[in-house]
Amino acid sequence: MSDDLFRYAKPFRVTDGKGFRLKSVDPGETLGLESKKRAEKLLAEGIARMVDQQEKLYAQDRWAVLLVFQAMDAAGKDGAIKHVMSGVNPQGCQVHSFKAPSAEELDHDYLWRASTRLPERGRIGIFNRSYYEEVLVVRVHPPILASQRLPPALVTKDIWKHRYEDINAFEHYLSRNGVAIRKFFLHLSKEEQKRRFLERLEEPEKNWKFSSADAKERARWDDYAEAYEQMIRYTSSEEAPWYVVPADHKWFSRLAVAAAVVETLESLKLAFPKVDGARKKELEAARTVLEGES
């Protein structure tokens, strides 16, 4: 089958963020794919391969896979998660959406709540938002940082640099414990966000999705763009790459995410556990018992 699929993920993978510019990725990119139909065909192929890989991941029970999703509002995080994971066994998949931290969570270091939600071995864990909010919304809104009640001596101008270092160290630790991490930034243009917000206002079935808070964050677009750019620059690595996925066409971003997930799973060389001699005997004995039932 075509490894053609991977060509929709590779160009967007950042393993070394040095000098990364958000401008280098066009949110409207489709890599020459013109029709949604062709993309959907490829997405279906990707999902079939993912389903096959997930069974092995689960049976083998060694690796865990952590997929992190970050984006501006209306970029299509929820839809991407829903489409890309359609078909995978729900028992092998855990999704967690990170909201503003609770009082209990604020009483801990910021990675605490994320570490309690990590996927178990054999599972795919999805973070819908994540500890990266700590260098995004928290960076854009200084009062949020103040609410974290850190000892003042630790809140210096280097705090973001320290957070990147700590996040990199955390991801390095997880990688060395068998958690394969892939991070997706759904890269939406400001114009397309406006179009989607207007759609939410105009179409009654989409009204529920509109939030004035989201519209307020839009006013800080440039600050977020800067925070995302820095985040990608300083937290991309070979073991935990960012994918900067063009998101103006939902059909394209879903395909790119699926391609990256398939590539990740296939790179783990997953296989069903081998049946050794003792186990073969055990299976044989069980068969004899079953067949001997009257």
129 or 172: CB nearest ligand ATP? 129
Please list, in sequence order, all residues whose beta carbon lies within 8 angstroms of the beta carbon of residue 58, skipping any fewer than 6 positions away: 89, 91, 92, 122, 123
133 or 192: CB nearest ligand ATP? 133
Q: Which residue, chain included where needed, has tokens 């900067």?
A: 244
Instruction: Calculate the CA 210 to chain-centre distance.
Output: 23
9 or 135: CB nearest ligand ATP? 135
Q: Determine the residue with CB nearest ligand ATP.
A: 133
Shortest CB 19 distance to ligand ATP, Å: 27
Instruction: Give CA–CA dist 191/179, Å, rounded.
Output: 36
Shortest CB 218 distance to ligand ATP, Å: 12
60 or 97: CB nearest ligand ATP? 97
Instruction: Calculate the CA 146 to chain-centre distance.
Output: 28
Residues in touch with ligand ATP (CB under 6 A):
73, 78, 97-101, 128-129, 133-134, 137-138, 144, 211
Shortest CB 199 distance to ligand ATP, Å: 14
Shortest CB 54 distance to ligand ATP, Å: 24
Shortest CB 69 distance to ligand ATP, Å: 9
**Closest by CA position to 103, among listed 161, 148, 163:** 148
Spatial strand order in the sheet of 124-128: 13-14, 242-246, 179-187, 64-71, 124-128, 93-97
